Chain A
Amino acid sequence: MLLTDDEKRMRDGAEGAAVAAAMDLLVRYGEALGAERLCETRNVAGTMTQPSPAKAKLVEEGGWAKAFAVINLDCDEDIDIPPMKVPTCQLQHGFGADARGLTGYPDASIELQRDAEAYYSDKGVNILATCTPYQVGNLPVRGEHCAWMESSAVVYCNSVLGARTNCEGAASTGAASLTGRIPYWGNHIPQNRFGTHLIRTDVELTTFAEWGLFGYFAGEAVGEGQPVVTGSWSQPDLADLKHFGAAAATSGGVELYHIPGITPEARSVEEAFANRAQPDAIGYGPRERRQVYERLNDQGTSTDVDFVLLGCPHASLEQIEAVARRLKDQKIHPDVQLWIMTPPALRAAAARSGYDRVISAAGGRLLTDSCPAMSKAAPDGTRVFVSDSAKQVHYLPAILGIEGWFGTLDECVDAAITGVWRGELSPC
């Protein structure tokens, strides 16, 4: 791989051992990918503070510097960690203090994470603590080279914002944070950003849950492809595209899609395919919609609901308001817990706006930083959970061994109030 003089200096230790280790990893990684060079980035979204058993052991052995060296730089040397070279944020991680005592999630992990936040914020890491950094202070501009983790954020960054990132990991984002470099490969290269599949929906998409269902279909249909999506909908909003992308990145490996006329890199279907021949359209009609709904809902038999989980990916303020509106003057069933996950910054806004009060009065909770899948923890005794997120319903049964149902926000709120799952696929 071709390195600039600056990059060679970093590799050779001119900026210290940690930067050298970071550059060494980027070279190994770039060469394994087949990248010709690195590119500059000033926008890194990764994870350093998330507790894990392996990380706890490393911290015990050699403090946070050791944990960062091994996990975020793939380096076994004892090295000092300098401040972040470029703007870097922490994505979602484990539960914070607001979730203490609500689940079996260990207090020791909450403490470890608090300790990590102190260490890394001192190094210049912005603790956004969300899977949706684009909602709360990290909004890349079109064409910007980023080094982001979190598949749902990556697909939003590429598709909706038109910025450029691959689906990075803890080690590559760690290396990027100390060097301001990432392999120029994959989604960074303009010629790689055109459509590979055409998907046409004949179902009108009216809610974000419908967009999620459609995204789950799209991911299964194209795997790691780059779908170009056409069909009929009213103007999609942030929540719609957040759920579409998250689901497509879960059932498949979609990192980039185009919706001609909506997303920035495709004014037309022709442009999405670089004016080349278009593939035959994959159809999404009532039959496909039912099939994907049934696949997602084949993980449950009991309709006695214990737990309602909203906000995956982390809820927007508008989604929180929609929940508050439905819960006003209502009471959640005493045997059910209702949680809405949101970024800390939006929780603060929700509190100022009165939504938190309404949700709390009904017996629900607005929580931050994490989600049950990330933290591998749900309220004690949960056997059956429901969500309006295809992604969470995909992951949580596997992670916690519980049953799951997917449905609309209205169906989820109904389950929270009645304790019974009555969801069914609406006619389209």
Chain B
Amino acid sequence: MLTFSGRGIVPGVASGPALVSTEPISGFGGIDPARGVVIEPRHELFGECFTGTVLVFPGAKGSSGWAGFFQSTRLMGTAPLAMVFTTVTTKAVLGAIVTRVPTVVECDRDPTCLIRTGDRVRVDADAGVVTVLGGS
């Protein structure tokens, strides 16, 4: 079983299908919180819905509205189940906190290379462990 060891920054445990982006994700102008969908036209996840997924991505980019946009996904019921990202920035960290989903960062190996979209993934942010339970 593929396991990653990282640092949990928002506590909790969640399992679900992974949605993986190798590109950073933008909040404002990047997602539509009403639908939980990536809307940046040139983004590899353009048109994909992240609601109920374990969102695996390198980090945040773009506007400081990042955290507010992901907070809106929580308030509108379109949030991801959990987050796994690599680069610790104020935008992404605050975003994870106000989205209130289990979040693990700084894994020992690059999760965006090794986890595939559709893999079933368990995020244990209390232990700082991400496990791929099965392939898609």
Report which A residues bind B (CB closer than 8 A).
25, 28-29, 31-34, 47, 52-54, 57-58, 70-71, 74, 149-151, 154, 166-172, 185-186, 223-224, 249-250, 252-253, 299, 373, 394-395, 397-399
CB of A254, distance to nearest CB on chain B (Å): 10
**Candidates B34, B68, B90; contact of A170 at CB < 8 Å:** B68
Which B residues touch A70, using CB under 8 A? 75
Q: Is the interface of A mostly helix, strand, loop or mixed?
A: helix
Whether the pair A167, B90 counts as a contact (CB closer than 8 A) is yes
Whether the pair B71, A71 counts as a contact (CB closer than 8 A) is yes
One of B13-21, B95-103, B112-120 at the interface = B95-103
Which A residues touch B10, using CB under 8 A? 32
8 A Cβ contacts from B1-26 to A: 9-10, 24
Whether the pair A167, B64 counts as a contact (CB closer than 8 A) is yes
- Please, how many angstroms separate the alpha-carbon atoms of A74 and B97 in the complex? 8
Whether the pair A169, B67 counts as a contact (CB closer than 8 A) is yes
Which B residues touch A31, using CB under 8 A? 9
- Please, how many angstroms separate the alpha-carbon atoms of A31 and B64 in the complex? 20
**Given contacts A74-B98, A169-B91, A171-B97, is CB(A252)–CB(B75) below 8 Å?**
no
Which A residues touch B90, using CB under 8 A? 33, 166-169, 172, 185-186
Which B residues touch A223, using CB under 8 A? 24, 61
- Please, how many angstroms separate the alpha-carbon atoms of A149 and B87 in the complex? 19
Whether the pair B64, A169 counts as a contact (CB closer than 8 A) is yes
Is residue B94 within 8 Å, beta carbon to beta carbon, of the partner chain?
A: yes
Whether the pair B41, A299 counts as a contact (CB closer than 8 A) is yes
- Please, how many angstroms separate the alpha-carbon atoms of A215 and B33 in the complex? 28
20 additional A-B pairs beyond A29-B94, A74-B71, A399-B29, beta carbons within 8 Å, are A28-B97, A33-B90, A33-B93, A53-B72, A74-B98, A151-B62, A151-B64, A154-B64, A166-B90, A169-B94, A170-B67, A170-B71, A172-B67, A172-B90, A185-B90, A224-B61, A299-B41, A394-B29, A395-B29, A398-B29
**Candidates A32, A57, A154, A250; contact of B97 at CB < 8 Å:** A32
Which of B64, B67, B71 has the most chain A CB atoms closer than 10 A to its own CB?
Answer: B64
CB of B34, distance to nearest CB on chain A (Å): 7
Is residue B82 within 8 Å, beta carbon to beta carbon, of the partner chain?
A: no
Which B residues touch A395, using CB under 8 A? 28-29
Whether the pair A71, B89 counts as a contact (CB closer than 8 A) is no
Which A residues touch B59, using CB under 8 A? 224, 253
Which B residues touch A224, using CB under 8 A? 59, 61, 87, 89
- Please, how many angstroms separate the alpha-carbon atoms of A74 and B65 in the complex? 15
Is residue B126 within 8 Å, beta carbon to beta carbon, of the partner chain?
A: no
Which A residues touch B34, using CB under 8 A? 53
Can you list 21 A-B contacts (CB < 8 A)?
A29-B94, A33-B90, A53-B72, A57-B75, A71-B68, A71-B71, A149-B64, A151-B62, A167-B64, A167-B91, A168-B90, A168-B94, A170-B68, A171-B98, A186-B89, A224-B87, A249-B63, A253-B59, A253-B89, A395-B28, A399-B39
- Please, how many angstroms separate the alpha-carbon atoms of A168 and B94 in the complex? 8
Is residue B123 within 8 Å, beta carbon to beta carbon, of the partner chain?
A: no
Whether the pair A169, B66 counts as a contact (CB closer than 8 A) is yes
Is residue B76 within 8 Å, beta carbon to beta carbon, of the partner chain?
A: yes
Which B residues touch A149, using CB under 8 A? 64-65
Which A residues touch B63, using CB under 8 A? 150-151, 249-250
Whether the pair A398, B88 counts as a contact (CB closer than 8 A) is no
Which B residues touch A250, using CB under 8 A? 62-63
**Given contacts A33-B88, A151-B62, A167-B89, is CB(A172)–CB(B71) below 8 Å?**
no
8 A Cβ contacts from B28-42 to A: 28-30, 33-34, 39-41
Is residue B60 within 8 Å, beta carbon to beta carbon, of the partner chain?
A: yes
